[in-house]
Structures are given as structure tokens and as C-alpha cells.
Amino acid sequence: DKVESAKRAAAHRAVDNHVKDAYKVGIGSGSTVVYAVERLAQRVHEEKLKVVCVPTSFQARQLIVNNNLELSDLEITYELDVTIDGADEADKQLTLIKGGGGCQLQEKIVAAAAKTFVVIADYRKDSTVLGEQWKQGVPIEVIPMAYCPVKLKIEKELGGQAILRQAKAKAGPVVTDNGNFILDWVFDKIHDWEKVNQQIMMIPGVVETGFFVGMASVAYFGMQDGSVKERH
Ligand code: DER
């Protein structure tokens, strides 16, 4: 279907443009990055590349292991050449909303550890301003015992609604790979995202937000016509 082939086209283009022999590669989480790992595994096999991969979640770790790629971590491989990851939405300045899959804490750490952070996405994520297409809010990872005061402070200071993310395949809230809860902040107006990100990060109990401001070097969007659009 159109969305899946758009994801695949963006993922393949990013891997082909940014991965070289002996590279240390950060592997993101979500469904688009699956195509990037498949392409990486194919290139490693065909070109006899030597790369090591650092995951951003249990899901990413399984992808690396199941594709017979060399698994590493940030203790051993603390500076990466490139991190490739998806996004829920990107605006014209490449400010991202990430964390639809609840993995934004480790994703941001691994993205920050790389010389180049490359985003791969289908056309549904390609927006002019944040919130244009992605309506599920920005995930904010919080320490479980603090989720109520954090929720109240965000709604009081910034408006909108901060909703505790409930699990689908388990009773109760989603628990992240790091043992925390997620508040999805559905904002109700356009903000200065850099300022808002800093404000939220300062609230006691907040661990990380899904705002990636000024981090992405390039985004590849798979389009409906099969082409791939780049934004720098
Ligand atoms: O949860 C995440 O941050 C993912 O990277 C998400 O932003 C993109 O997931 P998708 O590739 O399944 O759309």
C-alpha cells in the first residue's frame, strides 16, 4: 500500500545515502525504521560492510538481532556516525514530534550521540507546522509518581490536555522501556517549541519530551507518487 511503500522508499534512500563501511549506526524505533534495518542488513551482506548498531528500544534491539547485525551499546560505542529514526511529524524547520511508539527517551539520547541524525518518514509526517497532521499530542515521559502534578502544571501553564497514555494490550497505563509513564500533551495552539520544550523539561518529574528541536540534519519523506523528498 502507498504508505508502506513510501516508508520503504524513504528508509532505503537514507541508508544508501548515509551508511558507509565501518560505521557506527544508531537504530531508531517504530515501523519505518524496520525498512531501514532490512536495507542495512542487505547492504552489509552484499557489500561486506562492517557496521555496529546501537538500539533505541527493546524493539530496535530485536530488529538488530533478528537481522544478524552487530549489536552494541553506548558504553562501548559512545559516538555514532549516524542515527536513523522515524518521526510522528516534522515541520518546515525540521522540529520533530517523536514518541508515537513511546521510545523517545532512548531515541533522543542515541540521536544526540550521532554526528548526523537522519529522519525517515512517509508523506503523512511532512507538515509545515506541528499539529497540522499529527493530532495525538507530544509524548512526555514522566516518573510514575509525578504524573498528576506534571499533568496539572502543563495544562495550567501551557493549556491543552496532558493525557496519561493507557496501554492497549495490558490493563493500566503504558510503561516505557525505562519504567516510566507517558503523558501525551495535546496542545491547542502554536508555541515557540524550543521554549516550550525547555519549560516542560524543567518540571520536576519530567524525564524527556518528544520534541526534537534542532537535532535532525535531514529528513527523507516518501511521497505518494513513489518519489523521495529531502528536507535539510
Ligand atoms: O516512537 C517514535 O519516536 C517513532 O520513531 C515514531 O515517531 C515513528 O514511528 P513510525 O515509523 O511507526 O511512524
* pLDDT recorded at residue 3: 98
Tell me the CB-side half-sphere exposure of residue 123, using CA atoms within 13 A.
13
User: How many angstroms separate the CA atoms of 33 and 120, rounded?
Assistant: 7
CA torsion sign for 128, 134, 135, 140 is: negative
Question: Does residue 208's CB lie within 6 angstroms of at least one atom of ligand 1?
Answer: no
Q: What is the pLDDT of residues 69-93, one digit of tens each?
A: 999 999 999 999 999 999 999 999 9
Could you tell me the pLDDT band of residue 197, with boundaries at 50, 70 and 90? very high
Question: Does residue 87's CB lie within 6 angstroms of at least one atom of ligand 1?
Answer: yes
Question: Does residue 99's CB lie within 6 angstroms of at least one atom of ligand 1?
Answer: yes
38 in Cβ contact with 7 (< 8 Å): no
Question: Does residue 136's CB lie within 6 angstroms of at least one atom of ligand 1?
Answer: no
Among 5, 8, 32, which residue has the most ligand 1 atoms within 8 Å of its CB, making it the best to mutate? 32
* pLDDT recorded at residue 177: 98
CA torsion sign for 230, 10, 208, 184 is: positive
* pLDDT recorded at residue 112: 98
* pLDDT recorded at residue 104: 98
Contacts of 11 (CB under 8 A, 6+ apart): 32, 33, 34, 35, 36, 38, 39, 84, 120, 220, 222
Complete DSSP assignment for the chain: -HHHHHHHHHHHHHHHHH--TT-EEEE--SSHHHHHHHHHHHHHHHHT---EEEESSHHHHHHHHHTTPEE--TTT--SEEEEEE--SEE-TT--EE--TTS-HHHHHHHHHTEEEEEEEEEGGGB-SSTTSS--S-EEEEE-GGGHHHHHHHHHHHH-SEEEEPBPSSSSSB---TTS-EEEEEE-SS---HHHHHHHHHTSTTEEEESEE-S--SEEEEE-TTS-EEEE-
ipTM score for this prediction: 0.97
Of all residues in the chain, the percent with pLDDT exceeding 70 is 100
* pLDDT recorded at residue 151: 98
The answer, as to whether pTM is greater than 0.95, is yes
Of all residues in the chain, the percent with pLDDT exceeding 90 is 100
* pLDDT recorded at residue 160: 98
Average pLDDT, rounded, for the chain: 98
* pLDDT recorded at residue 98: 98
Q: Which one is catalytic: 107, 132, 194, 230?
A: 107
Distance 97 CA to ligand 1 centre (A): 9
For residues 195-224, give the mean pLDDT.
98
Q: What is the pLDDT of residues 107-156, one digit of tens each?
A: 999 999 999 999 999 999 999 999 999 999 999 999 999 999 999 999 99
Question: Does residue 103's CB lie within 6 angstroms of at least one atom of ligand 1?
Answer: yes
115 CB-contact burial (10 Å; exposed 0-12 / middle 13-18 / buried 19+): exposed
* pLDDT recorded at residue 96: 98
Q: What is the pLDDT of residues 35-44, one digit of tens each?
A: 999 999 999 9
* pLDDT recorded at residue 2: 96
Q: Which three cell numbers stand for residue 157?
A: 501553564
Residue 107 designated active-site: yes
* pLDDT recorded at residue 64: 98
82: how many CB neighbours lie within 10 A of its CB? 22
Question: Does residue 86's CB lie within 6 angstroms of at least one atom of ligand 1?
Answer: yes
Among 88, 94, 138, which residue has the most ligand 1 atoms within 8 Å of its CB, making it the best to mutate? 88
Distance 100 CA to ligand 1 centre (A): 5
Distance 85 CA to ligand 1 centre (A): 7
CA torsion sign for 182, 188, 192, 195 is: negative
Could you tell me the pLDDT band of residue 213, with boundaries at 50, 70 and 90? very high
